Amino acid sequence: MRALSPSPSTLAATLLLVLLLLQCSVASAGQFSGDSSKLSGIIIPGFASTQLRAWSILDCPYSPLDFNPLDLVWLDTTKLLSAVNCWLKCMWLDPYNQTDHPECKSRPDCGLSAITELDPGYITGPLSSVWKEWIKWCIEFGIEANAIIAVPYDWRLSPSMLEERDLYFHKLKLTFETALKLRGGPSIVLAHSLGNNVFRYFLEWLKLEIPPKHYVQWLDEHIHAYFAVGAPLLGSIQTVKSTLSGDTFGLPVSEGTARLLFNSFSSSLWMLPFSKYCRADNTYWKHFSGVTRRGHQTYHCEEQEFRSNFSGLATNIINIEIPSIRGFDAYPSVSEVAETNLSRMECGLPTQLSFSAREIADGTFFKAIEDYDPDSKRLLYQLEKSYHGDPVLNPLTPWDRPPIKNVFCVYGIDSKTEVGYYFAPSGKPYPDNWIITDVIFEVEGSLFSRSGDLVEGNAGAASGDETVPYHSLSWCKNWLGPKVNITRAPQSEHDGSDIQVELNVEHHGEDIVPNMTRSTRVKYITFYEDSESIPGRRTAVWELDKANHRNIVRSPVLMREVWLQIWHDIHPDAKSNFVTKAKRGPLRDEDCYWDYGKARCAWPEYCEYRYVFGDVHLGQSCRVKNSSSDLKLHYL
Ligand SMILES: *[C@@H]1O[C@H](CO)[C@@H](O)[C@H](O)[C@H]1NC(C)=O
Ligand SMILES: *[C@@H]1O[C@H](CO)[C@@H](O)[C@H](O)[C@H]1NC(C)=O
Ligand SMILES: *[C@@H]1O[C@H](CO)[C@@H](O)[C@H](O)[C@H]1NC(C)=O
Ligand SMILES: *[C@@H]1O[C@H](CO)[C@@H](O)[C@H](O)[C@H]1NC(C)=O
Ligand SMILES: *[C@@H]1O[C@H](CO)[C@@H](O)[C@H](O)[C@H]1NC(C)=O
Ligand SMILES: CC(=O)N[C@H]1CO[C@H](CO)[C@@H](O)[C@@H]1O
């Protein structure tokens, strides 16, 4: 009933009023300040979060359903169920040159609906619409329709193919420029998951596109802040599972089919895990020194890579049993690896080999199983062509802080997350030729096997967000300077009584872990903030307890914090560097509820009882007070 209510929430109205007033404030030259009506929000969605539509006519012989132009391909579960072979033709790409199937092709949809309407009916969770809630917030806060821009992309493609086939990065640059021209102000980038890899590639591509001395100026003019949400900064371990044994993401297809499909996409390797101690050559400088790079990509590893065991991650990512030996020469490419246990191989026993993130990213692993797996050659081909040999950036290398004014890195922690796998031959033919015999999980700072046994390794201070491990998510703590202010506050509305602050914590290279207490019943959000190390620029890391990788973008806490931070940034009276954490009251009618114990609306300072025709229960009639715009000034 309330969703249908025609009157906008009071907060939206008051916020809009504030925004209109702000419009009149005079912006000082060159510096963006105080005019939210000029801001645009640009959303870069994650893997599999853009709709794909058919751009062909395909008759499906044994099914009543055909594919006609503009029919939904990703994701129409009815068609997937009734005509799986047709559907596969429309999804599949040639594993070498990434061309479409001769009978059917699909192209990404455009506009906001391309990322908000992903068939939420059949599948819940992973693939359903993650952005719908976000858009709802924007509307509730009075943001104009043309201020929110989605930049959907064909998530099946590698970055260079995105540009080659769709001119994606070219169009993305125009999107920023159009937003500036249309609304007169910079944009806020909100990227989720793989969207962060896309944005990173864009920043490198841009370096080659505009004159070097205008690069930072372009960024300052066009981008006010970058929110990196759930970024797999050192890759995602689950990619390895999808590559070797298939991951259906909840779709009604077999794992083998999922594997075939996933491995036909060149994007499948974009999120491979890599070592934080090894860096690929910087293509940018090569470009100017005139050295052409052909053939082998080189990684330069710090000594630490060889002194520590797991490339800085929790454990070896792959432990795989190689069927049996056909003589040492069968795979000379792994001589160093194989050398470690030659004696067992000569006896013809199955051999278990282990691979760290470095050995996966540099191709050693795929070479090692080349003789046992038909997909290896194709994957190696894509790895060398689309990643190691990419003319703009080899993305399988650690990312330094991007030169954007305000960078916010946001992720969930302390969920059970897969960090390593044991594979063995299954005895079945390709594509079902590997089975997972064990999985290593990280759980709140410890490693466990599937059977629950504790495992030795290099567990981080916390665990990941269910999809991406902690080491990969928290890499952005390296973007903070040597001194950091840390604040831990409850995620829910709070009055400031349970808030912990540590100012100017020093750290050098290693992970920063606050010396703070945690009540087991409270979910916290921990803020790491630095506004000092680079003059005029701010960096922050927000860790949300138990926030899940895919659902984090629709979590009310994230939306509230992003809104308050932006609200703070554009307010001419803002004095602190970051929005205060001292208190969090309800912001929307939905946040107000009935307190049965006290027989009144909770948060009386913010909420009042105001019945509106159509309310069904007490809580619904608790609404944010008209006067709450004054209260919002507390957040400056
Ligand atoms: C503010 O409150 C009054 C009654 O107290 C109500 O009539 C009015 O509609 C409210 N304003 C908004 C914008 O909701
Ligand atoms: C891509 O590969 C397929 C099959 O290998 C081939 O038929 C097609 O002509 C190739 N396309 C291009 C553009 O090279
Ligand atoms: C590396 O692994 C070896 C053997 O498993 C172990 O003895 C050694 O302590 C490990 N080194 C580090 C730095 O963890
Ligand atoms: C953590 O804080 C407590 C009290 O605030 C202090 O006694 C303890 O030494 C601190 N530990 C570290 C490692 O700083
Ligand atoms: C930490 O907070 C204090 C007080 O707000 C501020 O002066 C200082 O610059 C902050 N430190 C960093 C590293 O941002
Ligand atoms: C170098 C190495 O790890 N060699 C081992 C290979 O396997 C045999 C039998 O299990 C061990 O005795 C070796 O130490």
What is the secondary structure of 133-167 as a DSSP string? HHHHHHHHTT--GGGEEE----TTS-HHHHHHHH-
Å from CA of 577 to ligand 5 middle: 8
Selection from 153, 46, 48, 165 nearest residue 97 by Cα? 165
Decide which of 38 and 345 is more confident.
38
Sorted by sequence, the CB contacts under 8 Å of residue 616 that are 6+ apart come out as: 1
Domain boundaries, the chain: 1-31+588-636, 52-108, 270-277+294-400+413-455
Residue 76 has pLDDT above 90, yes or no: no
Q: How far is CA 494 from CA 80, 229, 569, 579, 602, in A?
A: 46, 24, 22, 15, 12
Decide which of 318 and 60 is more confident.
318
pLDDT at 123: 43
Most confident of 159-163, 289-293, 507-511: 159-163
Are 369 and 376 in contact, with CB atoms under 8 Å apart?
A: yes
Å from CA of 346 to ligand 6 middle: 12
Low-confidence winner among 21-25, 85-89, 532-536, 557-561 (lowest mean pLDDT): 21-25
Residue 66 has pLDDT above 90, yes or no: no
Told to judge if 275 belongs to the known catalytic residues of this protein, a careful annotator would answer no
In tens, the pLDDT along 600-614 reads 998 888 888 999 988
Sorted by sequence, the CB contacts under 8 Å of residue 300 that are 6+ apart come out as: 278, 279, 281
User: Distance between alpha carbon 454 and the CA centroid of its chain, in Å?
Assistant: 29
Residue 20 has pLDDT above 50, yes or no: no
Q: Which residue CA neighbors atom 3 of ligand 1 most closely? A: 626
Q: Which residue CA neighbors atom 3 of ligand 5 most closely? A: 503
What percentage of the chain exceeds 70 in pLDDT?
84
Give the separation between CA 446 and CA 558, rounded to whole angstroms: 26
Tokens of 77: 């579960």
Given pLDDT bands bounded at 50, 70 and 90, which one contains residue 292?
A: very low
User: Which one-letter DSSP state was computed for residue 387?
Assistant: I
Å from CA of 599 to ligand 2 middle: 71
pLDDT at 39: 86
Residue 433 has pLDDT above 50, yes or no: yes
Told to judge if 569 belongs to the known catalytic residues of this protein, a careful annotator would answer no
Å from CA of 97 to ligand 2 middle: 6
What percentage of the chain exceeds 90 in pLDDT?
56
Does the beta carbon of 504 lie inside 6 Å of ligand 6? Answer: no
Residue 47 has pLDDT above 80, yes or no: yes
pLDDT at 342: 52
SS3 state of residue 597: coil
Give the separation between CA 566 and CA 40, rounded to whole angstroms: 11
Give the separation between CA 244 and CA 238, rounded to whole angstroms: 10
Decide which of 474 and 9 is more confident.
474
Residue 36 has pLDDT above 80, yes or no: no
Ligand 6 atom having least distance to the Cα of 344:
7
Strands 223-229 and 187-192 turn out to be parallel
Residue 121 has pLDDT above 50, yes or no: no
Residue 104 has pLDDT above 70, yes or no: yes
Tokens of 571: 């307010």
pLDDT at 70: 85
Burial of residue 575 (CB within 10 Å: 0-12, 13-18, 19+) is: exposed
- Residue 603: phi, psi to the nearest 5? 55, 60
Given pLDDT bands bounded at 50, 70 and 90, which one contains residue 282?
A: low
Given pLDDT bands bounded at 50, 70 and 90, which one contains residue 388?
A: very high
Told to judge if 109 belongs to the known catalytic residues of this protein, a careful annotator would answer no
Q: Which residue CA neighbors atom 12 of ligand 3 most closely? A: 308
Q: What is the CA radius of gyration of the chain?
A: 26
Q: Which residue CA neighbors atom 8 of ligand 1 most closely? A: 626
Ligand closest to 514 (CA) is 4
Does the beta carbon of 455 lie inside 6 Å of ligand 3? Answer: no
